[in-house]
């Protein structure tokens, strides 16, 4: 299965917010003037000085949200998008806590709250269409396609105009790689993007511990049973020896030193 992705070229974004509007329409969200991710905004254009920075779910290769969810409400699809099933969700919000890109948002004021985040328009992709934001973008700041092609395209753009671009494709290595990748005219940390993320997927940190559990259960219970056997045996032997001592005392008594019969 071809893995798809989105290449976001920050140098091309003109801040027209067409992507935000298309996204809201596709999700049935109300219009809003707040250009930040929220429960009614799954993609947003943040303004940093004179630069417009699109933000949305990164659709990680090994997503933290998929790994932390106790009920497997998140799924990394073979096509690339990370999707969420609200019917499974029990609302523990570990995904909000754990996401390295701080993407998921919660319907705090709902009595049947759901997590909200971009799903790369999974339904449209499966129908052979582009995601709504990509289709709406008049400046081609977002392009959609097979991820490998997009990475090659990003490399070509940097090579063609090294003065224009920061020599880094954000998302190729961050947190083990993502399906949404960025090109920028400035160092990424100056655009408010996290540059201190490890290059390995974050779920490896918890898996290092979790994978030890079967071994621990086996050896731990064997050890405890062994300790019990030893301490229990000791109690038995003590009782036996005490009984033996009593017996010896009684026999000694029979051999003439018995004060009771005297």
Partner 1 sequence: MRALRLPRLTFWGTTFWVIISAGLVSTFIRFTQGLGASTNLSDAFPWGLWIGFDILCGVGLAAGGFVVAASVYIFNLDRYKPILRPAVLTAFLGYILVVFALLYDLGKPWNVWHPIVMWNPRSVMFEVGWCVMLYSAVLALEFSPVVFERLNMGWAKKAIHAISIPLVILGVILSTLHQSSLGSLFLIVPEKVYPLWYSSSLPYLFFLTAIAVGPAMVTIESFLSYRAFRREIEVPILGKLAKVTGVALAVYLVLKIQDIMAYQLMPYLLTFNTESMLYASEILLGVMAPIVLISLRKIRESRTGLFAISLLVVLGFILNRMNLSVTALERYSGVNYFPSWMEISVTLMVIAIGFATFRLAVKYLPIFEHPDEPAAPKDAPQYDVVSFHEVLK
CA distances from 233 to 224, 242, 246 (A): 14, 14, 20
Task: Classify 76 as helix, strand or coil.
Answer: strand
Cα angle at 89 between 95 and 82, to 5 degrees? 55
- Specify the stretch interacting with partner 1 by CB under 8 A; choose among 16-24, 158-166, 178-186, 225-233: 225-233
Read off the tokens for 143: 């392009």
The answer to the question of residue 48 lying near partner 1 (CB under 8 A) is no
Integer Cα distance of 40 and 19 in angstroms: 14
Closest distance of CB 146 from partner 1, Å: 27
- Specify the stretch interacting with partner 1 by CB under 8 A; choose among 11-19, 141-149, 177-185, 219-227: 219-227
Question: Which residue, 19, 63, 15, 26, is CA-closest to 43?
Answer: 19
- Specify the stretch interacting with partner 1 by CB under 8 A; choose among 17-25, 67-75, 132-140, 151-159: 67-75
By CB under 8 A, the residues from 89 to 148 that bind partner 1 are 89-94, 96-98, 100, 102, 104-113
The answer to the question of residue 235 lying near partner 1 (CB under 8 A) is yes
The answer to the question of residue 58 lying near partner 1 (CB under 8 A) is no
Integer Cα distance of 171 and 154 in angstroms: 11
Cα angle at 210 between 207 and 216, to 5 degrees? 145
Q: Where on the chain is the footprint of partner 1 (CB under 8 A)? A: 37-39, 64, 66-73, 88-94, 96-98, 100, 102, 104-113, 194, 196-198, 202-203, 205-207, 209-210, 213, 216-217, 220-221, 224-225, 227-228, 231-232, 234-236, 238-240, 243-244, 246-247, 250
């Amino acid at each position: 299965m071809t893995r798809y992705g989105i290449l976001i070229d920050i140098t091309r974004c003109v801040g027209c917010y067409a992507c935000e509007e298309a996204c809201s329409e596709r999700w049935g969200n109300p219009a809003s003037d707040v250009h930040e991710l929220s429960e009614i905004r799954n993609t947003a254009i943040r303004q940093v000085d004179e630069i417009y920075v699109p933000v949305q779910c990164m659709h990680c290769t090994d997503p933290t949200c998929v790994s932390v969810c106790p009920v497997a409400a998140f799924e990394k699809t073979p096509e690339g998008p990370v999707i969420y099933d609200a019917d499974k969700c029990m609302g523990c919000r570990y995904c909000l806590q754990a996401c390295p890109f701080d993407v998921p948002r919660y319907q705090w004021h709902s009595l049947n709250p759901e997590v909200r985040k971009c799903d790369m328009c999974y339904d449209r992709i499966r129908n052979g269409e582009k995601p709504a934001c990509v289709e709406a973008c008049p400046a081609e700041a977002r392009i959609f396609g097979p991820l490998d092609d997009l990475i090659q395209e990003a490399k070509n753009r940097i090579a063609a105009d090294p003065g224009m671009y920061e020599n880094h494709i954000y998302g190729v290595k961050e947190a083990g790689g993502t399906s949404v990748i960025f090109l920028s005219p400035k160092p990424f940390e100056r655009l408010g993007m996290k540059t201190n993320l490890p290059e390995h997927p974050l779920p490896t940190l918890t898996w290092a511990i979790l994978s030890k559990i079967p071994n621990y259960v086996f050896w731990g219970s064997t050890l405890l049973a062994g300790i019990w056997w030893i301490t229990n045996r000791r109690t038995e032997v003590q009782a036996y020896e005490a009984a033996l001592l009593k017996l010896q005392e009684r026999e000694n008594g029979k051999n003439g030193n018995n004060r009771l019969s005297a």
